[in-house]
Structure 1
Amino acid sequence: MTTMTETSSYGTRQNWFARTEGWLDDKGKGAWIAAMVLGFIFFWPVGLALLMYMIWSKRMFSGPSCAKRSKRTMMTTRNTGNAAFDAYKADTLRLEEEQTNFESFLERLREAKDKAEFDQFMDERAKRNDGPAEA
């Protein structure tokens, strides 16, 4: 059973990490590299941990997309206080999710159609090969 102090302390640590990550993403890949180099200079395990995190989160090789991903994450979780804008944002994000779901549905549909056509081709080919052999 967790106490209120433990829960709020964990939430604060998590928010601090998310804010730091967002700040570094806003500054770009150079800020991540600078933080990693400083980590190696001052205390090498920190630099190593940052390097591992950058590779694991694909920040090392992803280019400018990491900043976009972080901004989208912040946009989905942050409440602006303006009810009309928050409703608009929620609807827009819902529509983007529906579009993604629909596109994945269409991809599965295309794959199923391709598989059916391939199976039909293989069945016709097997029938031709199994037909009566003429001498």
Structure 2
Amino acid sequence: MPTAAMLDDLPKGAWIAMMVIGFIVFWPIGLGILFYMIWSGKMHGWNRNGMRSCSSQFRRHRSSGNSAFDNYRDEALKRLEEEQKAFGEFMERLRRAKDQNEFDQFMAERNAQTGSPAN
């Protein structure tokens, strides 16, 4: 495996450790590693959603060397992404329904206290 490919496969924690060590040994090395991490996108996606989308896009384009497996993997990933999107939409509908229910309850209690009819 080429050295560049091995470096790209390192987890973010290893890059951060190399950056800290670089700053300790000679600060321009640490600064160079920091700039590389920002330029290459390794610093992008500190939140979970960004990280997940970046890694799934990167892995989707890597070939395993077996086209049948690659097709199966791509279909499975597409199906999982669709399920994730549908679940996210479902959770958003639940949050909106809960918010509406809480608002309706608030309005009912407020109207009961003031004695005014509900709109």
TM-score, normalised to structure 1's length? 0.56
The residue aligned with 2:97 is 113
| 1:91 Cα deviation after fit | 0.8
Unaligned stretches of 5+ residues in structure 1:
1-15, 60-65
3-state SS in 2 of match to 1:24: coil
The residue aligned with 2:107 is 123
Structure number with larger C-alpha Rg: 1
Alpha-carbon contact 1:36-1:47 (below 8 Å) kept: yes
| 1:86 Cα deviation after fit | 1.2
The residue aligned with 2:8 is 22
Greater relative contact order structure (CA < 8 Å, 6+ sep): 1
| 1:22 Cα deviation after fit | 2.3
1:94 and 2:78 aligned = yes
Query: How well do the aligned residues superpose, as a CA RMSD in angstroms?
Result: 3.9
Unaligned stretches of 5+ residues in structure 2:
none
- Which 4+ runs in 1 deviate beyond 3 A? 28-32, 51-59, 68-74
Residue identity (%): 17
Q: How many residues align?
A: 107
TM-score, normalised to structure 2's length? 0.62
